[in-house]
Amino acid sequence: MIKFLDLEKVTAKYADEINEATSRVVNSGWYLQGKENEKFEKDFSEYIGTKYCVGCANGLDALIWIFRAYVEMGVMKPGDEVIVPANTYIASILAISENGLIPVLVEPDINTYQIDPEKIEEAITPKTKAILIVHLYGQCAYTEKIGELCKKYNLKLIEDNAQAHGCRFNGQRTGSIGDAAGHSFYPGKNLGALGDAGAVTTNDEELAKVIRAVANYGSTKKYVFKYIGRNSRLDEIQAAVLDVKLRYLDEDNQRRKEVAKKYISGITNPEIILPKVEDYDAHAFHIFSVRTKKRDELHDYLEKNGVQTIIHYPIPPHKQDCYKEWNDRNYPLTEQIAAEELSLPMSPVMTDEEVNEVIRILNEWQA
C-alpha cells in the first residue's frame, strides 16, 4: 500500500535528533515556558521573516488568538465581519465565529482553489474589518489585488498558513505577508510536531504581547490577569521537536516539489484535472490535489490498486450542521471542489518508485 502520508517514516528520518531533543527536555526538569520555546520562536520567526513568533497549543488556537487580540485591542468588536474563503478547512472559519465576529464566505477561483480576489470587493461592507486568506493545499493565496483592497478599505490581512510552511510570494514567505499569521504544527503538516502545536507570527509588537497573554490565562505577569484568557501554551517537548524539524523543512519541501513535478509531467489521463502551478516557489505542496467528475470511483479504484488517497474536504463549511444558518446557501464552486477533489499521496519520504507507481495506476484508469 502506498500511504497518503507515512508519518512513521517521516519521524524515523530524524529519529536520532528528535530523541536527543526530547530526552534533553525530559532530563531538564523544565516542561513549559522555557528555553526550548524561546529558541523555536526565535528560529521560526527568522525562518518566516517576522519580528515576533508566539507559540501556542495548536493551529486553531493560533487563529483564534489573532482575532481575540484584535478584539481586546479594540481593533475589532463582536458583530464585525471577516472575509474568509468558502473553500477552506473549517478551522479558518471557527476562529472567526469563536470571537463573535461574522465570517463572510467568498468563493474560490476554480483554477487555484484559493479565494477569488475578484470576488472580494463585492463582499466588503462598512462592518468588514479583516480578510483571512488561507494558503490552501500549501499554495500562496495572496495577490497584489488583495493587498490593495486591504489598503483601500483599511482592513487587517490575516494569513492561515497552516498548510503552507515554506511557501513564498515573490521571495517573501507566507506568514510574513499580512498583519499576522496562524500556523499549525499538527503532525501531518509540512512542519509537524509529535502532537498538537501552533504559533502566530507577526511584526506587530502589541499584538504579539496580547496574544502571549491571552494564550496564558490572560496573564501579563505571574498572578496578574489583564484578560479573561485560556491555557493554550506550546510545551517544551514539542518546541524542541519542531526546532529539529525546522532545520530540514526546506529540504523536505524541495522533495515535495520534485514529487509534484513528477506528478504534473507524468499524469496524462485526460479524465484527471491537475493543479495549475505557475510558480513552484509559491506552493509548499502540503497537498497534491487533483479533480475528476468521477471522484468516488477514482478513490475506490486507487484503493483497490494499493494507493491511499484522502478528500480535502468532502463537506464544505456552509453545509455543516454547526453552521445551520448557511445550509441552504449555494457556493457552487466550493461545492464542485468538494465533489471532485482527491488528494494523492504526497510527502518528503515518497520514493521515485512510489511516485511512478501512482502515475502508472492513474494513467491506466478508465473513467
Ligand X SMILES: *Cc1c(COP(=O)(O)O)cnc(C)c1O
Residues that bind ligand X (CB under 6 A): 58-60, 88-89, 91-92, 134, 160, 162-163, 184, 186, 196, 198
**Chain position carrying cell 503538516:** 189
DSSP-assigned beta bridge partners for residue 183: 199
Q: Rounded to whole angstroms, how far apart are CA atoms 11 and 175? A: 25
CB of 96 to ligand X, least distance (A): 12
- Judged by beta carbon, residue 108 or residue 198, the one nearer ligand X is 198
Q: How far is the CB of 198 from ligand X (least distance, A)?
A: 5
How far is Cα 8 from Cα 140, in angstroms, rounded to an integer? 28
Task: Tell me the closest approach of the beta carbon of residue 182 to ligand X, in angstroms.
Answer: 7
d(CA 38, CA 11): 23
Q: Quick one: CA dihedral 105, 111, 117, 123, positive or negative?
A: negative
- Residue 53 CA neighbour count, 13 Å, CB half: 23
CB of 134 to ligand X, least distance (A): 5
> Shortest gap between Cβ of 351 and ligand X (angstroms)?
26
* Amino acid making up residue 190: N
Q: Give the three-state DSSP class for 313.
A: coil
Q: Which is nearer to ligand X, 198 or 359 (CB)?
A: 198
The SS3 call for residue 233 is: coil
Do 284 and 167 touch, CB atoms closer than 8 A? yes
Residue 96 or 162: which CB sits closer to ligand X? 162
Q: How far is it, in rounded angstroms, from Cα 99 to Cα 132?
A: 14
Which of residues 176 and 269 has its CB atom nearest to ligand X in the complex? Answer: 176
Cis omega (within 30 of 0) for bond into 331: no
Cell numbers given for 68: 481575540
> Minimum CB separation from ligand X for residue 245, in Å?
15
- Give CA 231 to chain center in angstroms: 22
Q: 181 vs 267, which CB is nearer to ligand X?
A: 181
Matching residue, cell 487587517: 156
Which are the contacts of 140, defined by CB distance < 8 A and separation ≥ 6?
114, 164, 167, 168, 169, 174, 279, 282, 283
User: Residue 185 CB, nearest distance to ligand X (Å)?
Assistant: 7
Report the residue number, 252 or 272, with the smaller CB distance to ligand X.
252
Q: How far is the CB of 91 from ligand X (least distance, A)?
A: 3
Nearest residue to ligand X on Cβ basis: 59
Residue 165: CB minimum distance to ligand X, A: 11
CB nearer to ligand X: pick between 173 and 269: 173
Residue closer to ligand X by CB (options 160, 340) is 160
Q: Which is nearer to ligand X, 137 or 326 (CB)?
A: 137
Q: What whole-number distance in Å separates Cα of residue 62 and Cα of residue 162?
A: 10
| CB distance 364 to 306 below 8 Å | no
